[in-house]
């Protein structure tokens, strides 16, 4: 398979990385400090039983909050960007399926998560950012 190279503005990639990381850092605070509210959302979701697959949802909520914070900070500062993006994607998938799939009231957040997943895949699949050329905007 032939790989094509395109020029991307390095500054825009940095802005994308920072903006993408912020949603996870903010969400991690909710998952860590407002556990009851997140568990309540799980309990009222159409696929709420998925929130109980690993046991008490409180444990999963706190663990995902800690992981989102660590990976979000890593993405923010550009440290192990590929792996940070993969970790965040692996957290985003079950959250999206459990909370947003199957409910018309969450169709907007569902597609927001799909777009966020696309951003994470950009960083997971394009981890050679040192080779990006700084281009004039």
Number of domains in the chain: 1
* Residue 32 tokens, joined: 């860590």
pTM for this entry: 0.83
Residue 57, in any domain of the structure: yes
Residue 135 in domain:
no
Q: Residue 41: inside a domain, yes or no? A: yes
Distances (CA, A) of 42 to 27, 33, 56, 61, 77: 15, 16, 11, 10, 31
Per-residue confidence (pLDDT) for residue 92, from 0 to 100: 93
Domain boundaries, position 15: 10-126
Q: Which two tokens stand for residue 14?
A: 């940095």
Establish if 75 belongs to a structural domain: yes
CB-based contacts of 79, cutoff 8 Å, min separation 6: 73
- Is residue 132 over pLDDT 60? no
Per the domain annotation, does 132 fall within a domain?
A: no
- Tens digit of each residue's pLDDT (9 = 90 or more) over 52-90: 877 888 888 899 999 999 999 999 999 999 999 999 999
Is 54 among the domain residues?
A: yes
pLDDT tops 80 at residue 137: no
Residue 45 lies in a domain: yes
Per the structure block, which two tokens stand in for 92?
């985003």
Distance, C-alpha 121 to centroid of its chain:
10
Confidence of residue 42 (pLDDT cuts 50, 70, 90): confident
Q: Is residue 92 part of a domain?
A: yes
Q: Could you tell me the two tokens for 120?
A: 């994470």
């Amino acid at each position: 398979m032939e790989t094509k190279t395109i020029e991307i503005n390095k500054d825009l990639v940095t802005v994308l990385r920072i903006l993408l990381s912020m949603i996870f850092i903010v969400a991690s605070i909710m998952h860590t400090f407002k556990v009851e509210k997140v568990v309540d959302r799980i309990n009222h979701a159409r696929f709420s039983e998925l929130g109980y697959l690993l046991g008490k949802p409180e444990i999963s909520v706190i663990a995902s909050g800690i992981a989102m914070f660590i990976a979000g900070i890593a993405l923010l500062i550009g440290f192990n960007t590929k792996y940070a993006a993969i970790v965040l994607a692996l957290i985003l998938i079950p959250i999206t399926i459990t909370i947003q799939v199957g409910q018309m009231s969450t169709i907007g957040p569902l597609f927001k998560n799909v777009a966020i997943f696309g951003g994470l895949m950009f960083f997971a699949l394009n981890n050679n950012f040192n080779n990006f050329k700084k281009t004039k905007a």
